Amino acid sequence: MTRICVPVCARDFDRMREGVQRAADVADIIELRLDCLNELETAARYLAELDGNAPPLILTLRSAEQGGHTSLDYSSRRRFWTALKVRDTDYFFDLEFDLVREFASAESSGPFELDWKRVICSHHDFNGVPPDLEGIYEAMAATPARILKVAVQANDATDCLSIVKLLERSKSEGRELIAIAMGSAGMMTRVLGPSRGSFLTYGSLDDESGTAPGQITARQLRDLYRIDSINSQTQILGILGNPVSQSLSPHIHNAAFASDGLNAVYLPFEVTDVNQFISRMVHPKTREWEWNVRGLSVTLPHKSSVMPYLDWIDPMANEIGAVNTIVAQDDRLLGYNTDGQGFIRPLWERFGSLQNTKCAVIGAGGGARAALWALGNDGANISLYARNAERASLTARDFGVTCDRLANADFAGFDVVVNATPLGMSGENQEMTPVSAAQLRGVRLAYDLVYNPIETAFLREARAAGCDTLTGIEMLLAQAAEQFKLWTGKEPDSRVMRASVLGGLNE
């Protein structure tokens, strides 16, 4: 059974009551984060006034060390729970492991006539995966609490293995467990956890009200990832990169899977160590968890570094020197590159053939290599530009093009100038551009491979220079359609894909 718990964190109970009303539309369970309240002593009175028609409630008073918003010490938290009087049998009580141990050792049945069937014994680690996680679980399992909760910080997607293995163990032992890997690298556990036996998963009311690192919204869990339809047979796909939290690929592919009626889900995988992720989680011969991995998209910075870990690479991808698509087939991983086709198709729609056009590519990474290959294959006259021409000279030599320094470059007379750098991408570099309007005057078309945001600093400079422009959305959609065909053998609905991108950008 899939249960989404929506935490409500507010400074006073009027706002908390409002949050409960909003959460009731999307939640199966609502968590009242009492540690957020300015006046905790009013909690009992307000609890009695809450609407009895709300979903079941979890009462939580988290300590600061365990991720709470309160400075209450152990004794103060203990006094609160001991004095609390509640009658509603739908309440759950989330108590930290230290309190559970004390209450379990007391001669009486515990505070507020504690019903251990309603107790969640929780442990959080915001630094990483503790080496003694199994021992922590065993100590918690020795308490009378019916439900255990373990939340650890994932610093790499491979850290999620400790959580899924704990879920497998608890399921085999008949224990009820909530298991979460926090942070953007742990997002897969929030989506896949319930289908692997987690008692519940957490989803926030909106992007601003999350109560733990990496927590996504309940609406995203239900609408984007279709969490209610995920089961052990669901095909797993996703995007491998770092960072990936801003990627629109989950919107594109999940919408396409839903439109085609496929039992598949597409997830972000934030990965630093490619070798560990591929060997321990993906490759059919060596992975430590049996899940139905069908394929991966690959983005920065791993398009080249992933290649040594694949069993076969398409000749086009080898020529480009980068892989952006992995297909799991039988016991092998196959590598492809759909960036080249995705890059050139929008240009064909503008120019027809690129034969003898004068084109400049800025950058020397995986996107630049795909652009160089596609333009060269279509007969364009190409120049490569980079901030560090010496570092980019190897890329230039691979494709037989000239390489010049970007500083003070003048692109007047070029038909196409391509930004294949990450400058302008949503985040800390969003307001940056590799070139200015003065450098772009006299260019027919400026093409930015950055797609989020749609309106980049590079494109603003290009419009100021009087250039036509092409956004990265066009390449994104074209390459995604090719990926979809490699994974499924089917043509995707292009209208669904485009609508999903625009919807994702507007969230």
Q: What is the CA radius of gyration of the chain?
A: 26
Is 171 one of the annotated active-site residues of the chain? no
Distance (Å, whole) CA 356 – CA 381:
6
Distance (Å, whole) CA 482 – CA 374:
15
Distance (Å, whole) CA 350 – CA 244:
30
Contact indicator for 237, 253 with CB cutoff of 8 Å: yes
Tokens matching residue 162: 């400790």
Tokens matching residue 195: 């289908």
| Beta strand segments in 25-118, E | 29-33, 57-60, 91-96
CB neighbour list of residue 392: distance below 8 Å, 6 or more residues apart: 364, 384, 386, 403
The CA angle 420-424-429, to the nearest 5 degrees, is 120
DSSP letters spanning 135-183: HHHHHHHTSS-SEEEEEEE-SSGGGHHHHHHHHHHHHHHT-EEEEEEES
Catalytic residue among 303, 358, 485, 490: 303
Q: DSSP letter at 306?
A: T
The CA angle 148-152-153, to the nearest 5 degrees, is 160
Query: What is the enclosing helix (H) or strand (E) of 125?
Result: strand 119-125
Distance (Å, whole) CA 100 – CA 97:
5
The CA angle 202-207-210, to the nearest 5 degrees, is 40
Distance (Å, whole) CA 140 – CA 227:
28
Distance (Å, whole) CA 362 – CA 400:
15
Handedness of CA 150, 158, 129, 63 (dihedral sign): negative
Q: How far is CA 507 from CA 9, 186, 220, 372, 475, in A?
A: 22, 21, 10, 33, 21
Distance (Å, whole) CA 187 – CA 258:
20
Active site residues: 303
